[in-house]
Amino acid sequence: MEKLNLLWIQGLTCGGNTQSLLCAEETLLNTFLKKVNLLVHPGLSLDEDLEKTVEAVLKGDVRLDILAVEGAVRERGKGLYTVLDMRFDEVLRKLCGVANYVIAVGNCAAYGNIPALKEGSVKGLQFRFTERGGFLGDGFRSKSGLPVINLTGCPVHPEWFISTVLQIASGRPPKLDSLGRPKEFYTYFTHDGCLRNQYYEWRVEAEVLGRKEGCLFYRFGCRGPMTRSSCNRILWNGVSSKTRSGQPCFGCTEFDFPRENIWETKYNMGIPAELPPGVSLRGYIMMSGVAKTFTPDRLRRRLLDEDD
């Protein structure tokens, strides 16, 4: 089977998603490279490669199967660079028009996020935060008929990106949710698969960061119960996640990342100001009282001795 042609281009970005892809597990990355012909990638190509490749693609000399866009887009303004004497937004619009699939890699490309916080002309490809439209407009569809495929995260997990590309290569493009995200990775909450769930259910709070015991939601602002991601099902580097390492989930796959006071849980009259989806105020009060009263003793102890 012929390899897919993939072009990766950057808008307003810190380059974190590029770094994330380069840190993919070796076996997965090798499988990816067997299926994909990287026309251009900012971490693996020279600047002159971008000019030549974009020109060939826009002339129709080279087929563009997948356009991966990292970073937000500033409309009609100075970007990180120009290509073929055109502004970045001009080139991007033309490339999106000829690509079979368009993938927004990371939160900035999907929602605008950090670059869009203080500048109204900065947008994600098809959203600005949760407002539909974005840079390409709500009605945009790539040549495949799909809208922009949004792979959110700051950065996105490399396996989510590679698996999405491999699905396309197999002729089975991903099914998307209402925000254009593949359901396979964003149907779940970060909370699903978290090893601290028993502490959450019995309301045993983590006392300090970096330990294995205690739930990080009640004191340290963990967004796991409200954030859609597969971080605790598809581990980073196949090893760990934020909550497994003793840090709270910061909700980096959601449109409102980053937030202020990310290591703090806000309370109103002793109740978290924001409850997980589907949890009623009345239900929380009732279950919280029961849990605190009947917490198993084993959950109050350290899992490992201090000297271990």
Q: What is the DSSP letter of 189?
A: B
How much is the pTM? 0.92
pLDDT in tens, 154-209: 999 999 999 999 999 999 999 999 999 999 999 999 999 999 999 999 899 999 99
CB-CB contact of 124 with 113 (8 Å): yes
CB-CB contact of 112 with 129 (8 Å): yes
Considering the domain architecture, whether residues 281 and 192 belong to the same structural domain is answered as yes
For residue 304, pLDDT over 80 is answered with: no
Considering the domain architecture, whether residues 169 and 232 belong to the same structural domain is answered as no
- Domain of residue 61, CATH code: 3.40.50.700
- In the listed set 184, 204, 221, which residue is the last one of a domain according to the structure? 184
Residue 288 pLDDT? 82
Considering the domain architecture, whether residues 146 and 226 belong to the same structural domain is answered as no
Considering the domain architecture, whether residues 135 and 71 belong to the same structural domain is answered as yes
Considering the domain architecture, whether residues 63 and 28 belong to the same structural domain is answered as yes
Considering the domain architecture, whether residues 168 and 65 belong to the same structural domain is answered as yes
CB-CB contact of 24 with 83 (8 Å): no
- Domain of residue 294, CATH code: 4.10.480.10
Considering the domain architecture, whether residues 101 and 161 belong to the same structural domain is answered as yes
Considering the domain architecture, whether residues 25 and 129 belong to the same structural domain is answered as yes
User: For residue 64, what are the domain limits?
Assistant: 4-184
Indicate the residue type of 164: T
Please give the Cα distance from 220 to 206 (Å, whole number).
8
Domain total of the chain? 2
The pairing of beta strand 36-40 with beta strand 122-123: unpaired
pLDDT in tens, 193-203: 999 999 999 89
Considering the domain architecture, whether residues 245 and 198 belong to the same structural domain is answered as yes
